[in-house]
Structure 1
Amino acid sequence: MSNLIDKLGIRRLLNLGVTEELSLDSSVRVQLSNLVSVLGIFSNIQYSIFFVIAGAPHYQFMNVIHVMVISLLVFVLYLNTKEKYFLARIILVFTISVPLFFVSTVSFGTSGGFYYYFLMFAIVPFVIFPYEEKWLILFVFLMNTVFYLWFEFFGSPGIFAEGTLLYHKEVRDLFRINSVVSCLSFVALFMFYFLRNINRIQKEMIRINDHKDRIFSILAHDLKGPIGTMSTFLGYLTTSLPEREELIFALKELKKSTNQTYLVLENLLDWVRNETKKTQCNPNKLSLSVMIQNAVEILNMQAAEKGIHIETKIADEYLVFCDERMTATVLRNILSNAIKYSHPNGTVVIDVEPIFPFIEISFEDNGVGMTEDLLGKILEGKRFTSRFGTVGEKGTGLGLLVCMELLKEQGGSLQVTSKPKEGTKITIKLPLIN
């Protein structure tokens, strides 16, 4: 069904004017106004044909009205593509009632039940306008309700020429049945579409709240420790005159805490930027060996404290086409995790293998590894409790999530293989320049 909708271009029509900048709620309202416009165009074309076949009174005049209304509804779709949403909705709610008014006044009268559509159009403003436009919603609702009541209680049946299809009561009853069924079907369609998107909005709110809780958790726990350590050592250095060895030790601890704080903040900001679709990817030709070496130099102290040897296997010089900041973040995160979860005096191996049009960079350690359940949660982006490193290092639980998203932005990918107590191998792919 989804493929059929795509082939017919219906999904594209419904999404006219929907942009990434719009909130989910606003996007739904634009889609609903497009839906009403498309249904209105289809209905006016359909009834123009039926009126000619059935010999409706003044059908020539009605077809002129239909052409004008169809043109205005097409203009509404155009305004949505130009992001003039409010003007499009104003034209829409006042245009869709026009053919009903004329068909019930100069053609069918109360025969055929076309005035039932006024009840449906009384509902439309509630689904396409936000609550802030409540007075406009109320006005359009009352306008259509008054039209319905007028034709229901003060209208008169139409007069049909003998020899036409509409002269027969059975044909007029078919039009009335069609009006009732169409009204109920359209209302059901609006409501189902609205409920479907309300469900999407609820899921998005749950996701946003979950992300908010995760951010607060990181700020409360993962930054508190490093900043507290820095404050302690700075207080010690400013209130006493330490020996050289003590000074070096304190400065190393400060550097370690600073690096840890920077990495946490960088991961957090990258994750938030990606979630809010504000990540900007600016790919360039970059030296892979230089980027890996920079990551190794930044994390050398972290590795040296645990006695971990970082072995790089890069035989040739490779150029990659990627964003420098994003890729540097990915390399630092993966290498930092490899060091964090490696046992003291272990080895982390960085290997490179070109498989055109990509190059594979693998980070392999013989550390604690991961269970299948934990690995599945990480790869699916689900929330999980971050583990401590082998000597008590704290993680944020965002590192691999950020890496996967940043690689995806650049046309790359990430794969993980891991076994508990045996180690982990993370392989990333980046676009390679031949």
Structure 2
Amino acid sequence: MKAFLGRLGIRWLLNLGVTDHLGLESSVRVQLSNLISILGIFSNIQYSFFFAIAGAPHYQLMNVIHCFVILVLVLVLYLNWKERYSLSRIILVFTISVPLFFVSTISFGTSGGFYYYFLMFAIVPFVIFSYEEKWWILFVFLMNTSFYIWFEFFGHPGKFIEGTLLYQKEVQEMFRINSVVSCLSFVALFMFYFLRNINRIQKEMIRTNDHKDRIFSILAHDLKGPIGTMSTYLGYLTNSLPEREELIFGLKELKKSTNQTYLILENLLDWVRNETKKTQYNPANLNLTAILKNAMDILSMQATDKGICWETNISEDHCIYCDERMTATVLRNILSNAVKYSHPKGKVFIEAEPISQFLEIRFQDQGVGMSVDLLEKIMEGKRFASGFGTIGEKGTGLGLLVCIDLLREQGGSLQAISKLEEGTKIIIRIPLAR
């Protein structure tokens, strides 16, 4: 169904004016405004033919009014596209009532039941205006309700020329039935669309709260540890005159804590940027070896302390088309996990080879591995509790999630293969240099 609507261009029309800076609630109002405009255009075209065929009184004048309304509704779509949302909504709520008013005044009277549409248009402002625009909502509601009451209690049946289709009572009843069914169908469509998007808003709120809780958890626990360690060692170094060996040991611990804090903050910021769609992607042709070496240098102290040995099989000629910051973050996270979950004196194997339009980079460790359940959660982007490393290192649970998102942003991919106590193999694909 989505593909069919996409071919017709309906989905494009529905999303006119919907931009990244709009919130979900505002986007829904713009989409509903577009939906009402599209339905109004089709309805006016349809009734122009019906009135001409049925011989409605003054149908030539009514068709001129229909053409005017169609042009104004096209203008509403244009204004949404130009992000002039308030003006487009105000024009819309007044324009949609125009043809009904003239139909019920100079053509059909109360015979066709067209004035029933005023009841439908009385609820339209509730779904396209925000609460802050409540006076507009009230005004449009009262205006359309007043029109309905006037025609219902003070209106007169239309006068039709003998020999035309509309002169027959059965045809008039068909128009009345069509008006009732159309009103109910349009209201159901608006409500369904609105409820669908309310459900999206609720899910977004749940996701936002989950992200907030995760950020607070990282700030309260994962950053507290390394910063506390740095404070302790700095206090020790400033309050005493340590021996050379103790000084070197303390500085090494400070460097490890600094690196850990940096990685946690970088992962957190990258994750937040990606979730809020504010990631800046600046690709270029880059040498993989240079980026990988920088990542290994940052983690060299942690690897050395655990006796982890790198074994690489990567050509100096391998170049990739990527964003340097994103790719560096991905490599650091993967290598950091490999060190963290490897047993002391273990090995981490790194190799790369071109496959089709991508460079496939494989990282294999001999560490604790992951359960099937944990692996599924990671690949599905679900929240999970990060375990401790083999010597008590703490993680945020964001590393691989950030990697998946950053690789996807660059047109790449990540695959993980793991078994408990047998190690983990991470395979990433990044587009080759162009």
TM over 0.5: yes
Cα drift, residue 56 of structure 1: 0.6
Alpha carbons 2:342, 2:365 under 8 Å: kept: yes
Alpha-carbon distance, 1:291 to partner:
1.0
- The match for 1:25 is 25
Structure 1 counterpart of 2:177: 177
Q: Is the 8 A contact 2:286 2:433 kept in 1?
A: no
* Residue 320 of structure 1: how far off its partner (Å): 1.2
Matches of 1:134 and 1:375, distance apart in 2: 49
**Equivalent position of 2:388 in the other structure:** 388
One-letter identity of the residue aligned with 2:207: R
In the other structure, the counterpart of 1:5 is 5
Equivalent residue number for residue 154 of structure 1? 154
SS of residue paired to 2:77? helix
Q: How far apart, CA to CA, are the structure 2 residues paired with 1:307 and 1:205? A: 45
User: Which residue of 1 is the match for residue 141 of structure 2?
Assistant: 141
Counterpart in the other structure of 1:364? 364
Structure 1, residues 342-398: CA drift from partner, whole Å, max 9, x if none? 000100111111223111111110000001100000111111110000000000000
1:240-389 alignment, distance < 5 Å: 240-389=240-389
What is the distance in 2 between the residues matched to 1:357 and 1:100? 59
Q: TM-score scaled to structure 2, two decimals?
A: 0.99
* 3-state SS in 2 of match to 1:111: coil
Instruction: Kindly provide the amino acid, as one letter, of the partner of residue 242 in structure 1.
Output: P
| Cα displacement (A) at 1:125 | 0.4
Structure 2 residue 78 is matched with structure 1 residue 83: no
Q: Which amino acid aligns with 1:423?
A: G
Q: CA deviation at 1:317?
A: 1.9
What is the 5 A alignment of 1:54-69?
54-69=54-69
* TM-score, with structure 1 as normaliser: 0.99
Instruction: Give 2:96's aligned amino acid.
Output: I
In 2, Cα distance between the equivalents of 1:78 and 1:66?
A: 18
- Is residue 230 of structure 2 the alignment partner of residue 236 of structure 1? no
2:84 aligned partner, one-letter code: K
SS at match of 2:113: helix
Deviations 1:118-161 (A, max 9, x none): 00000000000111000000000000000000001111111111
Confirm whether residue 219 of structure 1 aligns to residue 225 of structure 2. Answer: no
Shift of 1:280: 0.4
Percent identity of equivalent pairs: 78
Return 307-316 or 188-197, whichever deviates more.
307-316
Aligned alpha-carbon RMSD (Å): 0.8
Deviation at 1:321, TM superposition (A): 1.2
Q: Report deviation, 1:312.
A: 1.3
Q: Pairwise mapping of residues 91-130 of structure 1 onto structure 2 (< 5 A)?
A: 91-130=91-130
Report the secondary structure of 2:233's partner residue: helix
2:203 corresponds to: 203
Where 1:248 maps in the other structure, the secondary structure is helix
SS of match in other structure, 1:354: strand
- Amino acid of the residue matched to residue 123 of structure 1? I
CA distance in 2, matches of 1:359, 1:56: 70
**Residues 207-247 of structure 1 deviation map (CA, whole Å, 9 limit, x = unaligned):** 11101100000000000000000000000011100011110
Count of aligned positions: 434
Structure 1 residue matching 2:428: 3-state secondary structure: strand
Give the AA of the match of 2:90. I
Cα offsets for 1:93-122 (capped at 9, x unmatched)? 000000000011011111111100000000
Return the alpha-carbon distance in structure 2 between the equivalents of residues 400 and 237 of structure 1. 36
**Superposed counterparts of 1:417-432, under 5 Å:** 417-432=417-432
Q: Structure 2 CA distance, aligned partners of 1:28 and 1:150?
A: 33
Q: Cα distance, 1:316 vs. partner?
A: 3.8
Question: In structure 2, what residue type is equivalent to 1:85?
Answer: Y
User: Which consecutive unaligned segments of at least 5 residues does structure 1 have?
Assistant: none
Letter in 1 for 2:86: F
Name the SS of the counterpart of 1:147 in structure 2: helix
Secondary structure (helix, strand or coil) at the match of 1:383 reads: coil
Task: Name the CA distance, whole Å, in 2 between partners of 1:149 and 1:182.
Answer: 19
Provide runs of 4+ in structure 1 moved above 3 Å.
Answer: none
The one-letter code of the counterpart of 2:228 is G
* Unmatched segments (≥5 aa) in structure 2: none
> Which amino acid is 2:400 matched to?
L
* Secondary structure in 2 matching 1:186: helix
Distance 1:302 1:119 in 2: 70
- Tell me if 1:47 matches 2:47: yes
Give secondary structure in 2 for the equivalent of 1:112: coil
Note closer, same or farther for the CA distance 1:99–1:315 as it changes in structure 2 (3 Å cut): closer
* Amino acid in structure 1 at the alignment position of 2:344: P
CA offsets 1:249-276 (integer angstroms, 9 cap, x no match): 1000000000000000000000000000
Give, in angstroms, the shift of residue 5 of structure 1: 1.8
Partner of 2:414: 414
Shift of 1:77: 0.7
Q: Distance in 2 between matches of 1:349 and 1:12?
A: 48
